Amino acid sequence: MIIKRVKAKKIKNSRGEETIKVFVKSDTGKGEASAPSGASKGKHAVKDFVGSVDDSIKFLKNCNELVGLEINSFDDLDKVEKIVDKEKYGSNTVIALEYAILKALGSIWKLLNPKVRKISRPLSNIIGGGAHFKGKGTDIQEFLVYPVGAMKISEAVKANSLIHSKVSKKLREVCSDFSGEVTDEGAWAPNLNNYGALDLLSEIAKEVSREVGFNIRIGLDIAASSLWDGKKYVYKNFSKDENEKSLDKKGQIKFVSELIEKYDLLYVEDPLHEDDFSGFGTLTKKFGKKCMIVGDDLVVTSLERLKKAGKSINGVIVKPNQIGSLIETKKFVDYAKEKKMYLIVSHRSGETIDASISHLAIGWEISMIKCGIYGSERISKLDELRNIAREIRSEK
């Protein structure tokens, strides 16, 4: 495939922020793609844009080195990354361009692994707060569900959607001031303390598990870096008896440990701040055989950070635009698999309609995808999972 033309335009993500959409025309096809942005960004992640979105658009429009470039496989993206500097134009410029190039070449999941036959299952955000909601809500950023027993992607999506719906109904019964507010990711945003949200979600997850006939587990993205003030973790809606509470490292580990045990959590993401490798290690050593202790801000899809983390975690979030390179993202994924870690491909809070991460999850045989359950930008990822599932079945 020979690239004939590259152009870009400015669009808005689901949070109303400016981002980029890239169009690629080749001698064999066309591709278009966009890149998202997160609200709670790890300080070690590559910047979404360096300068303005307009600077990136102008650069791509006038980048003659891309025109005539031959791309025949995923590995050929290395040629692109030698031309487009993520440190100069930002991670979103590179990622949107690379997605568009791959789409012009063909179906992304097939390019990565045409023999794959397993479909990733969705990890869905049901209740939320933290940096994803501007009003008064939970301190913990995301309260999640995962349909561990679902045999089909359609069953998994239906179960998570049912929980989302039932939680809304229950919140209107128990919270007099709740009127359907949602977070950036489409999770319900009630003015509940952290235990109250967990109690409610746990109850509904068990109820729906009985209805659908398979097990659904719950988890958390604590996003602890957003609670850390440099000395302590500061909570403003901690529990029924204590609104404001500050915890040191030891207290935070104790708090998270109690939540894992009390609610039989399957998954805990970023339970401590982004540089506390030893704190993560304490939790992994204690609960690693029964719970995923997952690093996001801790590792920011960086192979260097992942190697530094070592055995302090047993799971990692995969967000290509944290590192600004699909080539480097693949190296990160391969290393995590080699170390037998759990992997979760993830959306961002400021999402676009682009569903390339669904292809990455399936093509790289990653069993979990965190993509939300509500809103067009989230549903597009779930629809793509189902589309690929149908395509795989038709090719058997």
Q: What element of type H or E holds 86?
A: helix 86-89
Q: Indicate the burial class of 183 (C-beta count within 10 angstroms; 0-12, 13-18, 19 or more).
A: buried
Q: What is the pLDDT of residues 333-350, one digit of tens each?
A: 999 999 999 999 999 999
* CATH of region 121-395: 3.20.20.120
Classify domain 3-107 at the CATH class level: alpha beta
Please list the ranges in the chain whose pLDDT falls under 50. none
Hey, how many other C-beta atoms are within 10 angstroms of the C-beta on 55? 15
Residue with tokens 């600077």: 55
Q: What element of type H or E holds 99?
A: helix 91-105
Q: Where do runs of H (alpha helix) occur along 190-325? A: 194-212, 249-263, 277-287, 303-309, 320-323
- Which residues are bridge partners to 182 per DSSP? 188
Question: Which SS3 state, helix, strand or coil, does residue 76 take?
Answer: helix
- 19 vs 10: CA distance, rounded Å: 6
Are residues 295 and 316 in contact, defined by beta-carbon separation less than 8 angstroms?
A: yes
82 contacts: CB under 8 Å, gap ≥ 6 = none
- 267 vs 355: CA distance, rounded Å: 24
pLDDT at site 395 = 65
pLDDT at site 176 = 84
pTM: 0.96
Sorted by where each begins, the domain ranges of the chain are 3-107, 121-395
Structure tokens at 306: 């992942």
Residue with tokens 């300068």: 51
- Please name the amino acid found at residue 310: G
Are residues 143 and 127 in contact, defined by beta-carbon separation less than 8 angstroms?
A: yes
Sign of the CA dihedral with 300 first, then 316, 224, and 144 last: positive
- Which residues are bridge partners to 127 per DSSP? 143, 188
Residues catalogued as catalytic: 185, 319
233-235/245-247 β-pairing: antiparallel
pLDDT at site 137 = 85
203: nearest Cα among 171, 181, 175, 172: 171
Dihedral class, residue 90 (left if φ above 0, else alpha if ψ from -120 to 50, else beta): left
Q: Measuring CA to CA, how many Å separate 369 from each of 134, 299, 318, 342, 360?
A: 26, 17, 9, 11, 10
Residue with tokens 């790890």: 42
Q: What is the DSSP letter of 25?
A: E
> Euclidean distance between the first and final Cα of the chain, in Å?
28
